[in-house]
Amino acid sequence: MWALQQTLRGDFLIAYATGEDLDHATGLFGAAQGDFERWFKQQVHEVTGTDFNERSTGPTSEILADTEV
């Protein structure tokens, strides 16, 4: 899920993903070189500065609450 959240401090891009092995899935996406994948990664890079072609070395987000409605 990708969302654009407008705030008083500017726009925020919110991305949310679930899965069994997100590190592996992110690595596969980063390595993907299809037309759509290259286009999508370029769009995200232009908007956020995030480069999916490079593996993140930072920690993953900490889940504070997980609810299902």
C-alpha 68: how far from its chain's center? Answer: 22
Is 68 a domain residue? no
- pLDDT of 58 reads 76
Tens of pLDDT along 13-32? 888 888 888 888 888 989 99
* Greater pLDDT, 69 or 51: 51
Is 39 a domain residue? yes
Q: How far apart are the first and last CA of the chain?
A: 17
d(CA 57, CA 11): 25
Confidence of residue 42 (pLDDT cuts 50, 70, 90): very high
Domain of 42, in residue numbers: 21-55
Is 69 a domain residue? no
pTM greater than 0.95: no
The percentage of the chain sitting over the pLDDT mark of 70, rounded to a whole number, equals 99
Is 5 a domain residue? no
- As for how many domains the chain has, the answer is 1
Is 62 a domain residue? no
* Greater pLDDT, 8 or 55: 8
Is 1 a domain residue? no
